[in-house]
Structure 1
Amino acid sequence: MLRLRNDASHFFQIGNEPHKKFTEWARSLGDIYSVQLGQQNWIILTSDKIVGELLQKRGAKYSTRVQGHGEILFRGKGYATSPYNERYRKINPIMHSVLGQRSVKENSNLLDDEFRILMQNLCQASAKMKDGFYPKYVFQHTALNVISLLCLNKRTNSVDDPFYKEFENLMGTHLELAKVTNRLSEFFPILNWFPNTKLHNAMIESADNIEAFLRKLVKEVIDDKEKKPCIIRELLRKKDEGILDDLDVVYLTDTIFAAGTDTVSASLTWLTAALANNPHVQSKAHQELDQVIGQSRIPEVPDEQNIPYIRAIIKEGQRYCGAFYLGIPHANEEDDEYNGYHIPANSVVVLNQYGIHMDEKRYENPKEFKPERFLRFTESSAALANGNYENRDHFGFGAGRRLCTGIHMACIIYAERELLLGVSRLLWCFKIENASPLGKDGKPIPINLDKIRNGITVWPEDYKVRLVKRHDNVEKVLCGQSNS
């Protein structure tokens, strides 16, 4: 049997940072243990080996989700939260189709353009806010433009645009409400008899607002007289064929917007803070970029193999401060045995990404931001995620059949290309300076990366950085005016 913590009050002990409590318990209970949270039996996996053995090698047994997970927020029409049932098997190939690798190739110019514009926007933000600024919203605006161009051929010019503001407000609330500690009724079903709580009403209001917002986007595509190709149009075609219904179209669009914006923008927001705290890492990156790229052009996707230190920075960022600490839990529909441990059917199986990424046995000095640990990794995270667990660079995209919320490997490839363009161009253009108040030693107080905003995705608390242009050619190159 698994070592158990049977007291239902443990739900309240995990607090607002369950990843830390699960990791703490793993030190005394082992890399696989169970904890009873209300009426749910949670199996916590804090070992790369166990994740590989269960979620990857036995993926068929652990490919479903918890029944009722996010039922209020997603109207039972979620994709990432959907059980591995007939509906999931129906919509999965559709998602593969609209986000397939062909889509990545066809939209490479879109990514290039948007991440060039991102650097221009960062230049403008730096000029306006000389004392420093929190870059989250600029990153999120670019990620939103990428997804909205793919989904409905629409983009906005700034973070002041009403479309961006509405999206940021709605999605921020939506993902915050979806976190584990807000779903009490899933753990204590008796609470369903007393639904008129502030939290319950907030969830219903959030779902109503998201649905109304997405319906407006779908209507924009329907009303487009030019019938421009886009993802929503593909989903509407499946509706016309009788495969999807109205809510399917709305909440599949929701999945694409949420997954496509928060993952990349949160990763860039974390990495910017980590780089501000580690100027020696920036210095090495600047040297590599100057030697390989020079100062007459910005980095491009084909440069990736020639800038291994930049690639290592991205991988280390996904490990050290990635956008997911626990991800979306798996579940098993039948009993299983593993090394003498009994795993009952209908358990909630949690991949503790944070715990694995901070495992000293796997990563030497895990609390140190050290890209050098990944210099020998030449394969992409997309390729490594489907390989042997021992060879994986990180577990930020999850594991098993529900890898990267079940969307085709192109989802990871999109994210990797966006991060490559974002990080390489950020470091090509700027020196990132910590704009925190000065400490007693006269140096800026390091940005505290333990202070987080915890939802499905994890964000660092507000911080301030200054972005200093590295050379006079930056804006000329970004505007296409440089002479090689």
Structure 2
Amino acid sequence: MENSLVDYISKNNYVKTAAKAAAVSLTASLVYYAIKEPKEDNWNRKDFKKIPGPSGYPFVGHMLSMGFTPSFQIEKWHEQYGPIVHINMGAQQWVIFNDPVLAHDLFVRNATKASDRRRHKFTNGMYSKGGRGIAFSQPGKKLKHTRAIALSILSPKYVDRYLGVLENIASCTVELMKQETDRDGSVFPMPFIQMATFSAMIKSIFARPLHLDNDPVVKEIIYIMENELKFAGPAGDLGSFFPNFAWANSLFQKKKKMEALVARRDELYKMLIKDALNSEEDCLVKQAYQMKEEYGLDDNDLIVMMSDMTSAGGDTTAISLSWLFAVLPHHPAVQKKICDEIDRFFAKFNRLPTFSDRDEFPYMCAVLRENIRFRSVTTFGIPHFTSEDIELQGYFIPKGTVVACSMYAMHMNPDVYHDPKQFIPERFMGHTKTWSASANGPIDERDMYSFGWGRRICPGIYFAEVEEFNLCIHTLSRYTVEPALDSDGYPVYPDLKHASSTSVVFAPAKYNVRLVEREDSPLKKQT
């Protein structure tokens, strides 16, 4: 095994809980399975190829084998076992993929069988109020209608109304990071970027005034989102992974904490929706509210839907941009090429570009696309769940299986990308489509997979690309991103080989950088 069992348990809180529970119930479980009447083994069906996978620990399966950065361990399993891997997450059987063609066959061609969500106590029962919203609802008319609203209000037609707002948020955020650099010598970009991306969502959705330096509402939403992620995993909802240990949720008062968090979320979003509907300013929630009766949705549907959009749109974009700021100090030549594109544009038009000018920036667009490939923002996305048995290219996947893309491993697949461990923006030169167009295109034309598949593909792709374009422009038009300096003046580069990772997100470990003013910036010459 990659990690020592004893060391791993001693360092990981949710594993401690799982291990203690396993020790209590292991004997009873072994007796039960010993006397249980044998049934057909769905994982070794005759005439089907066996889905390979690593050996796991008794009862807890592979949960103890994930390591502190699951994305890296999963990539190693794919290197060893191939593009499709079977793992055991407690009571849950998982099949994971790092091959885009296999994933397309499963999630698009077999969408009717592979688009469910596993029913977890917190995510499906509490957070989504029985399966409302976008993220955790089951396939059906309500999900179709909810996604139709989300796709409508997050379409370029509506998002383009807020381009000026999004540009202002990017500009102010960069200046706040520069102020901290000047004051403290360096800056950790993540909190500033997170404040910016969540503020962008809240401003666009609810027309709330911006307070980028210290907005208590944004901080509250981030707090709620971070705790929701904890409850969605094994540490927060042990019973969903180990049904025999459901009593542990009561022992640790998890149910009360879950209910309190959801109530806190509901109260906040009710307030935001009410204020938005009473505002004279246009916003996305007004568009959704006008459509809800047509689509048979109620106020609770709207609360969960807005929560989904705000959290998913704010968090994933912040993580992607945080990886970008970690990567750039390692590649001064990449920064120089982006700066040259910006300078040429400024010399030609005497202004900074907007997203509508993106075709003038083929190299920067290639860098942003390479960044989201080089470091994926999630480990699995939100896994799907099979509602029927599936036969897939000679493999048999039983009904009731969790199926997911290994996002990092897929983007590091050498059969898909040449020299994938290297940051090479040039691989995407000439890829001029927007991210949304690429993600929704035919499988043989897709070049990125971070936004999911088929019926569950992310509805906010366009919004995310606009934000990343803006922050990159407003940073590199004035500054370069340099490594922090230690006490002796030596550079300390961000560590790209470690991550602050969970079963849900894949974010960079904490790092610091410096924003250094460009002497040759055209904006400096103008002033």
* Aligned twin of 2:151: 96
Instruction: Pick one of 266, 271, 278 that aligns with 1:211.
Output: 266
* 1:419 Cα deviation after fit: 1.1
* 1:355 Cα deviation after fit: 0.4
* 1:282 Cα deviation after fit: 1.3
Indicate how the Cα distance of structure 1 residues 182 and 395 shifts in structure 2: closer, same or farther if over 3 A, else same.
farther
* Aligned twin of 1:276: 329
Deviations 1:152-181 (A, max 9, x none): 211332332322332332222323433466
Deviations 1:449-471 (A, max 9, x none): 23322243332122111101214
Amino acid at match of 1:324: T
Q: Counterpart of 2:496 in 1: which secondary structure?
A: coil
- Which piece of structure 1 moves more, 328-337 or 20-29? 20-29
Q: Does 1:116 align with 2:171?
A: yes
Deviations 1:21-44 (A, max 9, x none): 322222222211222222222111
Q: Counterpart of 2:491 in 1: which secondary structure?
A: coil
Structure showing greater Rg: 2
* Aligned twin of 2:507: 459
Q: Does 1:356 align with 2:404?
A: no
Q: Counterpart of 2:416 in 1: which secondary structure?
A: coil
**Contact in 2 for aligned 1:44/1:351 (Cα 8 Å):** yes
* Aligned twin of 1:321: 375
Indicate how the Cα distance of structure 1 residues 48 and 438 shifts in structure 2: closer, same or farther if over 3 A, else same.
farther
Instruction: Pick one of 396, 399, 404 that aligns with 1:342.
Output: 396
Indicate how the Cα distance of structure 1 residues 97 and 20 shifts in structure 2: closer, same or farther if over 3 A, else same.
same
Amino acid at match of 1:210: R
Amino acid at match of 2:176: N
* 1:317 Cα deviation after fit: 0.5
**Contact in 2 for aligned 1:171/1:258 (Cα 8 Å):** yes
Q: Does 1:415 align with 2:464?
A: yes
* 1:48 Cα deviation after fit: 1.8
Deviations 1:78-105 (A, max 9, x none): 4212121343134222223332332123
* 1:151 Cα deviation after fit: 1.8
* 1:341 Cα deviation after fit: 0.8
Give, in whole Å, the separation in 2 of the partners of 1:294 and 1:179: 51
Deviations 1:285-323 (A, max 9, x none): 223322333495322223311221101110011011232
Q: Does 1:187 align with 2:246?
A: no
Q: Does 1:248 align with 2:301?
A: yes
Give, in whole Å, the separation in 2 of the partners of 1:306 and 1:446: 31
Q: Counterpart of 1:196 in 2: which secondary structure?
A: helix
Indicate how the Cα distance of structure 1 residues 362 and 302 shifts in structure 2: closer, same or farther if over 3 A, else same.
same
**Contact in 2 for aligned 1:432/1:468 (Cα 8 Å):** yes
* Aligned twin of 2:140: 85
Indicate how the Cα distance of structure 1 residues 271 and 206 shifts in structure 2: closer, same or farther if over 3 A, else same.
same
Q: Counterpart of 2:176 in 1: which secondary structure?
A: helix
Alignment gaps of 5+ in structure 2: 1-49
* Aligned twin of 1:233: 286
Indicate how the Cα distance of structure 1 residues 191 and 475 shifts in structure 2: closer, same or farther if over 3 A, else same.
farther
Same amino acid, percent of matched pairs: 27
Amino acid at match of 1:263: T
Instruction: Pick one of 82, 90, 105 that aligns with 1:30.
Output: 82
* 1:385 Cα deviation after fit: 1.3
**Contact in 1 for aligned 2:378/2:506 (Cα 8 Å):** yes
Q: Does 1:167 align with 2:221?
A: yes
**Contact in 1 for aligned 2:86/2:95 (Cα 8 Å):** yes
- RMSD of the alignment, in Å? 2.7
**Contact in 1 for aligned 2:343/2:521 (Cα 8 Å):** no
Give, in whole Å, the separation in 2 of the partners of 1:68 and 1:90: 23
- Which piece of structure 1 moves more, 74-83 or 349-358? 74-83
**Contact in 2 for aligned 1:381/1:393 (Cα 8 Å):** no
Give, in whole Å, the separation in 1 of the partners of 2:391 and 2:210: 52
* TM-score, length basis structure 2: 0.81
Give, in whole Å, the separation in 2 of the partners of 1:111 and 1:197: 45
- Which piece of structure 1 moves more, 51-60 or 328-337? 51-60
* Aligned twin of 2:386: 332
Q: Does 1:58 align with 2:110?
A: yes
* 1:237 Cα deviation after fit: 4.3
Indicate how the Cα distance of structure 1 residues 86 and 187 shifts in structure 2: closer, same or farther if over 3 A, else same.
farther
**Contact in 1 for aligned 2:483/2:491 (Cα 8 Å):** yes
**Contact in 2 for aligned 1:436/1:463 (Cα 8 Å):** no
Q: Does 1:259 align with 2:312?
A: yes
Q: Counterpart of 1:255 in 2: which secondary structure?
A: helix
* 1:269 Cα deviation after fit: 1.1
* Aligned twin of 1:45: 97
Deviations 1:365-396 (A, max 9, x none): 32222211111322222112122334322211
Q: Map 1:385-404; keep pairs closer than 5 Å.
A: 385-404=439-458
Give, in whole Å, the separation in 2 of the partners of 1:298 and 1:244: 42
Q: Counterpart of 1:28 in 2: which secondary structure?
A: helix
* 1:20 Cα deviation after fit: 2.5
Indicate how the Cα distance of structure 1 residues 55 and 283 shifts in structure 2: closer, same or farther if over 3 A, else same.
same
* 1:274 Cα deviation after fit: 0.3
* Aligned twin of 1:450: 497
Amino acid at match of 2:318: S
Amino acid at match of 2:473: S
Paired residues, number = 469
Q: Counterpart of 1:111 in 2: which secondary structure?
A: helix
Instruction: Pick one of 401, 407, 423 that aligns with 1:369.
Output: 423
**Contact in 2 for aligned 1:436/1:444 (Cα 8 Å):** yes
Amino acid at match of 2:327: A
Amino acid at match of 2:215: D
Q: Does 1:312 align with 2:366?
A: yes
**Contact in 2 for aligned 1:434/1:464 (Cα 8 Å):** yes
Amino acid at match of 1:257: T
Give, in whole Å, the separation in 2 of the partners of 1:364 and 1:161: 44
Give, in whole Å, the separation in 2 of the partners of 1:322 and 1:211: 30
Indicate how the Cα distance of structure 1 residues 160 and 101 shifts in structure 2: closer, same or farther if over 3 A, else same.
closer
**Contact in 1 for aligned 2:155/2:462 (Cα 8 Å):** no
Q: Counterpart of 2:457 in 1: which secondary structure?
A: helix
**Contact in 2 for aligned 1:299/1:425 (Cα 8 Å):** no
Alignment gaps of 5+ in structure 1: none
Q: Does 1:143 align with 2:190?
A: no
Give, in whole Å, the separation in 2 of the partners of 1:347 and 1:123: 48
**Contact in 2 for aligned 1:8/1:36 (Cα 8 Å):** no
Amino acid at match of 1:161: D
Q: Counterpart of 2:250 in 1: which secondary structure?
A: coil
Q: Does 1:125 align with 2:174?
A: no
Greater RCO (Cα-Cα under 8 Å, separation 6 or more): 1
Indicate how the Cα distance of structure 1 residues 234 and 305 shifts in structure 2: closer, same or farther if over 3 A, else same.
closer
* Aligned twin of 2:483: 434
Amino acid at match of 2:465: E
Indicate how the Cα distance of structure 1 residues 288 and 189 shifts in structure 2: closer, same or farther if over 3 A, else same.
same
Q: Counterpart of 2:246 in 1: which secondary structure?
A: helix
